[in-house]
Amino acid sequence: MEWRENGVEQGFHVDLMRKVTAMSGTELNIRRKSFSALVEQMELPPTDVDLICVVTPIDFSRPLQQSDPIYATHAKAFTRQTNAFINSWNDLAGKRVAIKKGSFVDVYVSNIDAPFERVDVDLYETGFRMLGWGRVDVVLAENLVARRLLPKYPLVRSASDPLIFGTFNFVAHPSQKALMEQVNKAIRELKITGEYDTLVNKWFGIGREKVDLIANQQRWLRIAIVVAVLSVVGLVITWNMSVHLRRRSLSLSSELKQREAAERALTSVSQQFQSVLDGIPHGVFLFGADATQLWSNGKYLEQLLCGKLTKNNGEPFVLKDLLSNVSQQGQDSEFELTKDNQHWRCQAHPISSGQVVVLLQLITEQKRLQQAHEQASRLASLGELSAGVAHEINNPTGLILHNISLLAEVICDIEPLVEQQQAQDPYWQLAGLPPQEAMQEAVQASGAIEEGARRISRIVSDLKQYAAPAPREALATVDLNQVVDASLRLTTNQTKRHQLVLDLSPEPALLIGDASQLQQVLINLIQNACHAMADDNGELSIATWREGYSIHLRVSDSGRGMEPATLRRIREPFFTTRRNQGGTGLGLSVSSRIVQEHKGSWDIQSKLGQGSQFELTFPYSP
């Protein structure tokens, strides 16, 4: 349905594509090549052609990217005037049938068991020419093109009812999916605005296709001359009608301009509205009464339809159930969804005709901030509680330590008296035990009480340090390299069993802080790393460096690493995995508080079986 007249490309699809490119802001370049070459290039790129228009049989599909149907057509049989009519496919048995290579007739026939001898041609016009020469018996041709060719071949006639039905489509290589979506969108808008109907009426609206008018121009001219001669008598009436028609034309032209202006305004508003929806950071989806997706802005669509989202109560999220409940109850619904440590807030709102609008908002960062705030609140409350508990425990602990030393001295002093009493009375017992055994038990109990009291004292000391901020007057310029050296001297017994790798900054790593507190943080990290490396010959790595206005300290080990659950809790007070080995769970809590007081931050990375890495960052202070 396209041709060139006086060097200008014309036809229904040419006009349609000009409308599409004008709406999408792209450029239209028309290239002429043979149909078979175009189809082959679409299937086997590269090619300099983005789209071609083809007809596809309604029962089959091409292995290419296809647009929505543009216009319906059909194909039927054409024979010489003297040949019999073709009433069914069986009437083609044994005949020589011309078929245009690559056409929708070719696609259809290639997929059925054809009872005739096939003759491939490059153009329908070639088939008509061969039919006139008697080289073929039948031409299977697309109706619209055949009707334009029939006036040129008077020996050929239409010889059957429609045998194959098809639709015009724009076709492109599968890699042009985005372009095809843009074309489909433009065609749909043209249909909504009525411009598509205007094009159809322009090219097909007078009954017989307009392509036939151009082919029969001379015939109509001769008829017009005859009619004009015979209509001289009605010249006055014709003139009056022309005046009326001119006035009607002006009215229609004015109405057309107003309609075009309204369509442009509608298109502009539609584009603006689409731009606003595309700019919304949330996913917006519109579903119909049958749960089909009518529209979306494209955000988070994959997550909504993946089928792996779960609600907070652990139940799987089923989109169809949500749409059904909201549509039937006519009430809004809002809840949170989770997938792969990502969190979304889902809102569903019913609208008219059973349709439902669904909003999907990513709230992962909000959830993390909320959890961090809750943890900070718990730690603040625990710090205040720890200070009070430490004060209350400190006095009785000191009393125990003071009195236990007196009891130890008493036990030592009465030991000779016990021996004398046992010599006088061999059957004498202390607390139901032989005197010597009782004295040994008393000595061991005294030592256990003292050790327990001292452990309580250490815990109380850690609690006080955890709850008490460092005094501002204790802060001074500190070289982090010197802190590392001092910490390694104090932890020689732990580090000597492992391979130590040092990579210290060649220039002083200066910051404002308390050297003893920073030393305490580093000793804690070194001891934890040594505990994590149960076997000897583990690798302990310590590095410092300056990066811009920041000073960095990294302590890493090749130990057993930590599980995710442990990693999330290691900075909580009293949380420890070494409770049986005497761990209090306050080391990293105190260290976290010291790092915060020094306006620093730290990052912890650890994987089970692969070791751990602690990286601390402080502001550089020259």
Name the more confident of 309 and 407: 309
The pLDDT of residue 205 is 67
Which stretch of DSSP H or E encloses residue 510?
strand 510-513
Residues of the chain above pLDDT 70, percent: 86
**Amino acid 207: pLDDT:** 40
Q: Residue 215 has what pLDDT? A: 46
Do the beta carbons of residue 577 and residue 565 sit within 8 Å?
Answer: no
Cβ(74)–Cβ(143) below 8 Å = yes
- Residues 457/401, Cβ–Cβ less than 8 Å: yes
DSSP result, 341-402: TEEEEEEEEE-GGG-EEEEEEE-HHHHHHHHHHHHHHHHHHHHHHHHHHHHHHHHHHHHHHH
Structure-token pair, residue 368:
């993390």
Q: Under CATH, what is the fold of the domain 283-362? A: Beta-Lactamase (3.30.450)
CB count within 10 Å of CB 450 equals 16
What are the structural domain ranges in the chain? Answer: 2-218, 235-277, 283-362, 367-467, 472-619
Q: Cα–Cα distance between 101 and 39 in angstroms, integer?
A: 10
CB 55 within 8 A of CB 170: no
**Range 119-137 burial, b when 16+ CB lie within 10 A, else e:** bebebbbbbbbbbeeeebb
pLDDT value of position 544: 95
CB 374 within 8 A of CB 572: no
The top-level CATH class assigned to 2-218 is: alpha beta
The rounded distance, in Å, linking the Cα atoms of 559 and 533 is 4
Which residues in 434-506 belong to E strands, given as ranges? Answer: 476-479, 499-503
Q: How far apart are CA 574 and CA 383, in angstroms?
A: 12
Residue pLDDT, tens place only, 429-477: 777 788 778 788 888 888 888 777 776 776 666 556 545 555 555 678 9
Distance (Å, whole) CA 179 – CA 186: 11
Q: What is the CA radius of gyration of the chain?
A: 46
Of 118-127, 130-139, 304-313, 603-612, the least confident: 304-313
Look at residue 550 and give its three-state secondary structure: strand
Q: Which tokens is 612 given?
A: 């751990």
Using CB atoms within 10 A of its CB, is residue 252 exposed (0-12), middle (13-18) or buried (19+)?
Answer: exposed
Residue 97's identity, in one-letter code, is: V
CA dihedral sign, ordered 217, 222, 226, 232: positive
- Total Cβ atoms within 10 A of residue 42: 24
- Tens of pLDDT, residue by residue over 67-94, are 888 888 899 999 999 899 999 889 999 9
> How many angstroms separate the CA atoms of 280 and 298, rounded?
11
Burial (CB count within 10 angstroms: exposed 0-12, middle 13-18, buried 19+), residue 29? exposed
Residues constituting the chain: 622
In this prediction, residue 126 has a pLDDT band, given cuts at 50, 70 and 90, of very high
pLDDT band at 619 (very low <50, low <70, confident <90, very high): very high
- Sequence-ordered alpha helix ranges (H) in 210-318: 210-215, 217-230, 235-279, 301-305
**φ/ψ (deg, to 5) at 121:** -130, 160
- For the domain made up of 472-619, give the CATH fold: Heat Shock Protein 90 (3.30.565)
pLDDT at 346 over 60: yes
Is residue 525 a contact partner of residue 488, using CB atoms and an 8 Å limit? no
275-293: pLDDT as tens digits? 766 667 788 888 887 888 8
d(CA 141, CA 74): 9
pLDDT at 12 over 50: yes
Amino acid at 184: N
What pLDDT digit, counting tens, does each position of 363-400 carry? 888 877 777 666 655 555 555 566 666 667 777 877 78
- Percent of the chain topping pLDDT 90: 15
Measured CA to CA, the distance from residue 606 to residue 571 in angstroms comes to 14
Whether pTM exceeds 0.75 = no
* d(C-alpha 138, C-alpha 94), whole Å: 11
Distance CA 283, CA 319 (A): 14
Q: 29 — phi, psi (to 5°)?
A: -125, 120
- Secondary structure of residue 410 in the 3-state scheme: helix
Residue found by looking up tokens 């619904």 in the block: 333
Angle, alpha carbons 190-191-197 (nearest 5°)? 100
CB 458 within 8 A of CB 409: no
Helices (H) and strands (E) in the chain, counts: 19, 23
